[in-house]
């Protein structure tokens, strides 16, 4: 891979300088230009042909959301957002839905020491964004009709557990609205997001879906016709009551996981509680969270689906599962809802 030509967009001269300095620490990244707002960025993208754009969310004239929409209409391009506050969660989700690859949470807008803390994360995400297939950036729109179950035979699955990261909000906004209101088993999902974003995302998913969608909470019942999203900052596992009902357990431990919530923790607990009657789904994202959990599910006789490379924004997590020999089928996003029903 050659140098990653990167355009930095921010209305703050200090932030532009800081982001350029952070990215310049990597010998693989070449900052080819800096723009003051989305309108300038549109012109500079055309002139400079960057591989990746980093873009502030809140700017005058044309903000981050407007820039993403306008640029994706012209030419799909990997765009990373920088946002200062979870209060902007709705706008971040709008930009992701419009085609942005991912976002980075700035500790504050002005404190130089804190701003530099995001440098390593930003470099990692720029490198990953540069590998994103452009066709995976085009927003997917779910079918008007929900997927119908293929048969009324007794189900071999008691729960669907799903792990996803980079590209996840976009993929889940396509997948979950296809589930019917009478979805026959519970679904529990881990999506890697900073604290302050998962509750808003669950609300947005619920508005677009026929099935009930909510952020999981301590003691939350795990029941059919419901999709639960793990809250950022807490691992999700399961426990049975004296009467046999399964409920959510939230925890900070284990502390040695790179992500909290962790897909591995969710999958392992599902395997321990539900045995062979688990369907695990690993979708787009960086890293290998979900590989160990998939091994637990397979060891108990459960089934694992992975998103195929062709539709992933980042083919990292699914690749790790496939290369470990743990995937029963690789499925593109467009067919994932239908495949889940087949497995039920």
Whether the predicted pLDDT of 109 surpasses 80: no
Q: Tell me how far apart the terminal alpha carbons of the chain are, to the nearest angstrom.
A: 42
Whether the predicted pLDDT of 140 surpasses 80: no
- Residue showing tokens 């789904």: 281
Helices (H), 139-240: 168-175, 198-208
Does the annotation count 141 as an active-site position? Answer: no
The mean pLDDT value for 237-245 works out to 92
Angle between helices 64-74 and 89-98 (to 10 degrees): 0
Average pLDDT, the chain: 92
Q: Which residue has the higher pLDDT, 87 or 302?
A: 302
What are 35-93's pLDDT values in tens digits? 999 999 999 999 999 999 999 999 999 999 999 999 999 999 999 999 988 889 999 99
Whether the predicted pLDDT of 146 surpasses 60: no
Among candidate residues 237, 289, 308, 311, the one labeled active-site is: 289
Calpha distance 344→335 (Å, rounded): 15
User: What domains can be seen in the chain, in order of their start residue?
Assistant: 4-134 (3.40.50.2300), 159-343 (3.40.50.180)
**Other residues' Cβ atoms within 10 Å of the Cβ of residue 144:** 7
Among candidate residues 192, 235, 288, 308, the one labeled active-site is: 192
* Contacts for 200 with CB less than 8 Å, ≥ 6 apart: 89, 90, 93
Whether the predicted pLDDT of 264 surpasses 60: yes
Phi, psi of 23 (to 5 degrees): -70, -30
Band (pLDDT 50/70/90 cuts) for residue 1 is low
Does the annotation count 235 as an active-site position? Answer: no
Whether the predicted pLDDT of 108 surpasses 80: no
The confidence score (pLDDT) of residue 114 equals 63
Among candidate residues 18, 165, 262, 269, the one labeled active-site is: 165
């Amino acid at each position: 891979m050659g140098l990653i030509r990167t355009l930095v967009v921010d209305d703050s001269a200090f932030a532009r300088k800081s982001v350029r300095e952070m990215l310049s620490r990597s010998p693989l990244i070449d900052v080819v230009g800096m723009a003051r707002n989305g309108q300038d960025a549109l012109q500079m993208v055309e002139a400079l042909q960057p591989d990746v754009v980093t873009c502030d969310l809140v700017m005058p004239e044309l903000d981050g959301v407007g820039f993403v929409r306008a640029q994706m209409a012209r030419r799909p391009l990997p765009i990373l957002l920088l946002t200062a506050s979870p209060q902007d969660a709705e706008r971040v989700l709008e930009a992701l839905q419009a085609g942005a690859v991912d976002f980075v949470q700035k500790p504050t807008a002005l404190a130089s020491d804190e701003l530099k803390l995001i440098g390593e994360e930003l470099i990692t995400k720029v490198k990953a964004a540069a590998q994103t297939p452009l066709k995976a950036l085009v927003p997917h729109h779910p079918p008007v009709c929900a997927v119908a179950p293929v048969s009324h035979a007794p189900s071999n699955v008691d729960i669907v557990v799903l792990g996803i990261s980079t590209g996840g909000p976009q993929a889940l906004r396509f997948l979950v609205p296809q589930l019917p209101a009478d979805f026959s088993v519970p679904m529990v999902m881990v999506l890697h997001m900073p604290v302050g974003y998962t509750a808003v995302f669950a609300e947005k998913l619920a508005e677009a879906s026929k099935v009930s969608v909510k952020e999981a909470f301590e003691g939350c019942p795990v029941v059919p016709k419901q999709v639960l999203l793990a809250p950022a900052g807490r691992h999700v596992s399961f426990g049975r009551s004296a009467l046999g009902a399964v409920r959510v357990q939230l925890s900070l431990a284990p502390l040695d996981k790179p992500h909290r919530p962790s897909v591995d923790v969710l999958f392992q607990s599902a395997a321990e509680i539900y045995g062979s009657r688990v369907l695990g789904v690993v979708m787009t994202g960086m890293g290998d969270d979900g590989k160990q959990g998939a091994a637990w599910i397979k060891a108990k006789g459960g089934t694992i689906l992975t998103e195929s490379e062709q539709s992933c924004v980042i083919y990292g997590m699914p690749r790790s599962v496939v290369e470990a020999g743990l995937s029963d089928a690789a499925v593109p996003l467009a067919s994932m809802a239908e495949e889940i029903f087949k497995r039920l």
